[in-house]
Amino acid sequence: MPNYRTKKNHRTTYVYKSAHGEIVATLRPGVDGVTEALIAKLHAEDDAVHNAEKRDSYHGVFHYEAETISEDDNRSIDLPDNSSNPEKLLIDALNAAERTGAFKAEWDALSDKQRDLLMKKLLGRSNVDIAAEECCTEAAIRNRLAKIQKRFKKFMK
């Protein structure tokens, strides 16, 4: 990616360059049917490509599925950190607790209202939405969820 693009005050012509930086052709308005609009369009396309390359070099473009690393390769792949992902923690807790049966016993000990609230939350509904449905405040929903979370805290380790 070149570190530059054509300056605004030098855009009256358009210069084609080879891969080695040699000038191949120069387009000037009024010569061979070239218009100022065409030159402006070419510069705009160059700006778009330049900005996209600059953005990608800063943020990075990763395709994790396409990445293959052999056993003798020491490169590291930048994968997301899922250690604090609540969904992963819950699934891991469910898998671990299912083996002992303790989770099922705790689930059965919940009231119907608590189970219903937890299912709504697991389906991705917001606290505000649930509070509006149940005609209570959002703080009340947060408190109920905190109590449920406290009961299941021992399974989240």
Residue 12 CB partners (closer than 8 Å, separation 6+): 28, 29, 36, 39
Res. 86: pLDDT tops 80: no
Reported as a pLDDT band with limits 50, 70 and 90, residue 143 is very high
Task: Give me the CATH topology for the region 86-155.
Answer: Arc Repressor Mutant, subunit A (1.10.10)
Lowest mean pLDDT among 61-65, 78-82, 114-118, 147-151: 61-65
pLDDT reported for residue 70: 62
Query: Tens of pLDDT along 100-120?
Result: 677 778 888 889 999 899 888
Reported as a pLDDT band with limits 50, 70 and 90, residue 69 is low
**pLDDT > 90 in the chain, percent:** 13
pLDDT reported for residue 48: 83
Residue type, 10: H
Lowest mean pLDDT among 17-21, 26-30, 60-64, 140-144: 60-64
pLDDT reported for residue 4: 57
Reported as a pLDDT band with limits 50, 70 and 90, residue 37 is confident
Mean pLDDT in residue range 81-109: 74
The structure's pTM equals 0.39
Instruction: Map out the domains of the chain as residue ranges.
Output: 8-65, 86-155
> What mean pLDDT value characterizes the chain?
77
Three-state SS sequence of 73-93: CCCCCCCCCCCCCHHHHHHHH
Q: How many helices (H) and strands (E) does the chain have?
A: 6, 2
pLDDT reported for residue 93: 76
